[in-house]
Structure 1
Amino acid sequence: MRIKLILILSIAIFFDAFFVLAQRPEWKDILTFSYFHNRGYEVLERICDEAGGRIAGSAPNEKAIQILIEEAKKDKLSLKLEDFDFPGWVRKADSVQLIFPFEKIFRCVALGFNNPSELIEAPVVFAQYGYEEDYVNIDAKNKIVIVTQERPKNKEELLRYEAIEIAARKGAKAILFINDKQGGLVLAGVGNFQGEPNPIPAFSITYEDGQILKRLLKRKITSIVQVKSNSYCKPSKSSNVIFTIPGKSQRKIVVGGHFDSWDISQGAVDNGVGIAVLYEIARNLSRFKDFYYTIEIVWFNGEELGLWGSKRYAKKHKDEVELMINLDMPGDPTGFNTMGFTFLDSITNSIVENLEGFNLKDGVISRPWTNSDHMYFMFEGIPSITPLGWMDESMYHHYHDFGDTFDKVNKKYISNSAGILSILIYELAKSSIDFPRLQRQEVIELLKKNGLDKRLKKQKEWKFD
């Protein structure tokens, strides 16, 4: 512990002294390049409009990778692929349709890891939030269950996979999740985090269609719904895309974000913006030499289906990684999150204080979170940073919905993110300071202190027992 405290104090003293020289010519060069040479935006446009949604393991995902490689060659960036196996899933033409008391095709999206089903036709029952106690006065056997995605007050969150398992145990034939956002939106996602087939077909339907069913049930009018799942699970292969800027040390600062998206949209914001910012960081920093740390920029695949790309990368390279920075829907930067690795606060605060011309109003916080590509690095005790950012309402409104399209992307935000993050990475990679890892017990304490252990256990992602 004494050695770790000395290391932390050394980091703080080093960067306090280092940033006396802040706003050096290199900073101005980096920022100028971000604004006058932004190609990430047009690369993202090609990916979105020529490949479309890019779920991992699919032909569109492969096409998007080839577009990225083609564009990188124009900028003399040599990318490599690191393949991995994972439990994949293929979406086909699935359907949910009201057939009585009138006919209506519902706007819906099947949840990941549905398997093919027979044509299911059954009455619907409303099980409120989907908890066990919500079934006390309901006979769900051979029925189609509908549940709301609204969160009850003063009650622990029920994850969708838990609601699916409960409905299956009650004998339901399928389950429909009513989105809590109005405007004809659905909420794509997986039915579980392990890549296992869902026990019954599960779908997200719109708020408006859900209200139709709820009103009919309230008036005791029988509602018959027809459901058909044609999607299926299958073992798959995908690739992480990697660009490396060599340093004097083989120890790496990994800067990553997920490349894949849900297939129902173009994935322009989630995480197309991250793809573009990573591309610009690669172009920008590849112009510099004499880094102490190697910088490895990684477009992870398989995040939406369960963090498979970053999980595989972290397992393979964990002993090489000094620090991890994750860009998941970065937006317009407003600060940094040091994820509970508080010794990083002095470094990131120095960036905030010396970039007064930017709206870094949120400063630095240190609040770990999960379910994105930094998670498995954090589990290894590897120091991690994520940017805080502002997004226009139109950007996050269509989260995991059909409307996540390229027209929502703000080019200026890409330039802002790329410039600010490139400066941070530049300074980190130029330093020769060792960034101390947390030990296993310290990671456990960090997760428990921030209440993350409960969610991880519910997701079956707790790796510390």
Structure 2
Amino acid sequence: MTNIIKGVISEIWSSKQILSPIIHLCDQIGPRPSGSDAAGQAADFIQTEFEIGNLTTSTHEFTHNSWSPEEFSFAIENQTFPAIPFNLSGNGQLSGDCYYIANPSKKAFEHARFDGKILLAESSHGMGMHRTEILKKAVEGGAIAYIQVAKTPGGIVEKGIISTKGIAEIPAVCISYEAGHFLRRKSQQAGVTVTIKVKGKVGLAIGKNVIGNINTGSDETIILGAHYDTWENSPGAFDNGTGIATLLKLAEVYSQLEQLNVNLQFIAFSAEELGFKGSTAYKEEAVESREVSVPLMVNFDCTAYPRGQRTISVSNSNAIYDTLGHLLESFNFDSTINNRPPFGTDGFPFYLSKIPVVSLEQIDKTKPSYMHTAFDTPEKLTEDSLKNSTAIAGAVLGEIIRQKYT
């Protein structure tokens, strides 16, 4: 099996079109929110790619809530700036001045009160409090609205979900870096009035998970997953075209191998951005019903960002952690390894069910990734970064199969 792993790595590195799925998803389809026509086109494309690789395919549909803004406006002293409401923002039409927090943290909120004010805080780029936590603190402190300032200059605004429990209590929006700093300066000089209007509509949508199977007759099935949905403002090259490209390449390469001795199920999940709705639905309907016996889930989310830190996270299995630690060392792979839970990814629902989860990502947290923005586009990616991450993912899968199923 060691020779097979080397062959998998070689096959991936010799690929000449590993970026092609990302370019198609971004340039030919574009933003693909779960339940949209574009998401349906993306699902059809992925299913066709699985079939070209000689996998047997199926789809798994599920219903989830959707949210869309019917009315939205944002102004500072009657001057408009780039802004966007967060998904599940509370409704409201209001005006007020701001309370500014530069680096949101639990300590910063310990004794803070915002009664009758709008909380203004900077985005943490995944290195501090999540926006849903900040919103909760804003509500507890008496804020009438929450404004998040984008970290990246250039008029960029970042989409995302603001509540995990339905419609938020107060309006919540993201404004550009420039608008945020303009507002901060004005607030320091004298009172400044911000006007916000949000009216959102809640509905139902049908999401679709796309499944490609390699069946060996085994009683066990390793699930490999990546989400293909995006926010309505983002082409989603990095998040998560890279994960889909890794998934499709591994499906192609492993479909050519014999004597795997375990079934492989490659799943392109939808509605990850809405809180792992697709992976949760599949886990509940197929895994917990024991329709599929799953000893391991491997997740690919944001797998290749040039010059970023590549990380493998392992949860619910010390044995797999040790195995992959030895693998990284023996092949001198450019990746760190940790045993953190797969928070914020489609691996999380499986983790909660005590299933071992391995996840792979490559992120540079010191630089903007353009996730959830209109600037998450293919030209920011490189073939070598994606090939390297995908080759490591292929070796990880091969080593786990070698250790347990040969």
TM range (shorter): 0.7 to 0.9
Q: Residue 296 of structure 1 aligns to which amino acid in structure 2?
A: Q
Q: Is the contact between residue 83 and residue 157 of structure 2 (CA under 8 Å) also seen in structure 1?
A: yes
Give the whole-Å Cα distance in 1 for the aligned partners of 2:364 and 2:129. 27
- Aligned counterpart, 1:456: none
| Structure 1 counterpart SS, 2:213 | strand
Q: In the aligned structure 2, how far is the partner of 1:160 from the partner of 1:150?
A: 8
Amino acid aligned to 1:112: N
Question: Structure 1: 5+ residue runs without aligned partners?
Answer: 1-20, 152-156, 435-465
Q: Deviation string for 1:291-335 (max 9, x for gaps)?
A: 211111111111111111111122221441101111111127846
Is 1:211 matched up with 2:181?
yes
Q: Is 1:284 aligned to 2:253, yes or no?
A: yes
Please give the alpha-carbon distance, in whole angstroms, between the structure 2 residues aligned to 1:282 and 1:40.
13
Shift of 1:132: 7.2
Structure 1 residues 74, 249: CA separation in 2 closer, same or farther (over 3 Å shift)? closer
The aligned residue for residue 264 of structure 1 is: 233
Distance across 1 between alignment mates of 2:201 and 2:38: 17
Q: Distance in 1 between matches of 2:232 and 2:366?
A: 22
Which secondary structure state, in structure 1, belongs to the residue aligned with residue 96 of structure 2?
strand
TM-score w.r.t. length of structure 2: 0.86
CA contact (8 A) 2:342 2:359 kept: no
Query: What is the aligned partner in structure 2 of residue 383 from structure 1?
Result: 356
Q: Which residue of 2 aligns with 1:149?
A: 122
Q: Check conservation: 2:50, 2:251, Cα contact below 8 A.
A: no
Give, as a single letter, the amino acid of the residue that structure 2 aligns with 1:288.
L
Corresponding residue for 2:80?
105
How much has 1:181 moved relative to structure 2? 4.5
1: distance between equivalents of 2:49 and 2:130?
40
Pick closer, same or farther for the CA change 1:361–1:33 going to 2, 3 Å.
closer
2:147 maps to what in 1?
A: 176
- For 2:273 and 2:69, how far apart are their aligned partners in 1? 14
DSSP-derived class of the 2:268 partner: strand
Pick the aligned partner of 1:352 from 307, 328, 339: 328
Structure 2 counterpart of 1:326, which letter?
N
Amino acid at match of 2:227: H
2:340 aligned with 1:364, yes or no?
no
Residues 389/213 of structure 1: CA separation in 2 closer, same or farther (3 Å cut): closer
Q: Report 1:297-336 matches (<5 A).
A: 297-316=266-285, 317-318=287-288, 319=290, 320-331=293-304, 334=310, 336=312
Aligned to 1:273: 242
1:191 equivalent to 2:158? Answer: no
Residues 73, 95 of structure 1: CA spacing in aligned structure 2 closer, same or farther, 3 A cutoff? farther
Q: Say if 2:119 and 2:143, in contact at 8 Å, map to a contact too.
A: no
The CA distance in 2 between the partners of 1:116 and 1:61, in whole Å, is 27
Residue 415 (1) aligns with residue 387 (2): yes
Aligned to 2:231, the other structure's residue is in SS state coil
Give the distance between the partners of 1:179 and 1:314, measured in 2 at CA: 34
Aligned-residue sequence identity (percent) comes to 23
How large is the RMSD of aligned CA atoms in angstroms?
Answer: 2.9
Q: Count residues in correspondence.
A: 392
For 1:16, the equivalent position in structure 2 comes to none
Displacement of 1:83 after TM fit? Answer: 0.7
Deviation of 1:131 (Å): 3.7
Tell me the amino acid that sits aligned with residue 172 of structure 2: A
Residue 47 to residue 181, structure 1, CA distance change in 2 (3 Å): closer
Aligned-pair CA distance for 1:58: 1.7
Q: Which is richer in helix?
A: 1
* 8 Å contact from structure 1 (residues 262, 400) kept in 2: yes
Q: Counterparts in 2 of 1:218-237, with a 5 A limit? A: 218-220=188-190, 222-237=191-206
The 1:61–1:315 alpha-carbon spacing in structure 2 relative to 1, beyond 3 Å, is same
* 1:114 corresponding residue in structure 2: 89
2:63 partner amino acid: D
Q: Which amino acid is the alignment partner of residue 331 of structure 1? A: A
Paired position in structure 2 for 1:12:
none
Greater gyration radius: 1
Distance in 2 between the 1:48 and 1:175 partners?
A: 31
Q: Which has the higher strand share?
A: 2
Q: What are the within-5 Å matches in structure 2 for residues 394-405 of structure 1?
A: 396-405=368-377
Distance 2:369 2:326 in 1: 33
Residues 424 and 158 from structure 1, CA distance in 2 versus in 1: closer, same or farther, beyond 3 angstroms?
Answer: closer
> 2:224 is matched with which residue: 252, 255, 262?
255
Determine if contact 2:149/2:176 at 8 Å carries over to the other structure.
Answer: yes
Q: Does 1:201 align with 2:171?
A: yes
- Aligned mate of 2:13, from 22, 35, 56: 35
Structure 2 gaps of 5+ residues are none
Question: Which residue of structure 2 aligns with residue 461 of structure 1?
Answer: none
Distance 1:418 1:180, change over 3 A: closer
Task: Give the Cα separation in 1 of the matches to 2:363 and 2:123.
Answer: 24
**1:253 and 1:181, CA in 2 relative to 1: closer, same or farther beyond 3 A?**
same
Contact 2:53–2:255 (8 Å) recurs in 1:
no
1:208 aligned partner, one-letter code: E
Question: Aligned equivalents of 2:360 and 2:274: distance in 1?
Answer: 23
TM-score, scaled relative to structure 1: 0.76
**Is 1:49 paired with 2:22?**
no
Give the secondary structure class of the aligned counterpart of 2:396: helix
**What letter is aligned with 2:206?**
K
Distance in 2 between residues matched to 1:245 and 1:349, nearest whole Å: 27
Are the structure 2 counterparts of residues 232 and 418 from structure 1 closer, same or farther at C-alpha, using a change threshold of 3 Å?
A: same
Task: Give yes or no for contact 1:178–1:205 (8 Å, CA) kept in 2.
Answer: yes
- Classify 1:244/1:92 alpha carbon distance in 2 versus 1 (closer, same or farther; 3 Å): farther
User: Which whole-Å CA distance do the structure 1 matches of 2:245 and 2:269 have between them?
Assistant: 13
Change (3 A) 1:393 1:247: farther
Runs of 4+ in 1 over 6 A off after TM superposition: none
Q: In the alignment, is the contact (CA less than 8 A) between 2:150 and 2:157 conserved in 1?
A: yes
Deviations 1:61-110 (A, max 9, x none): 11211222334444444432101112222356633122x2xx43211121
1:430 Cα deviation (Å)?
4.9
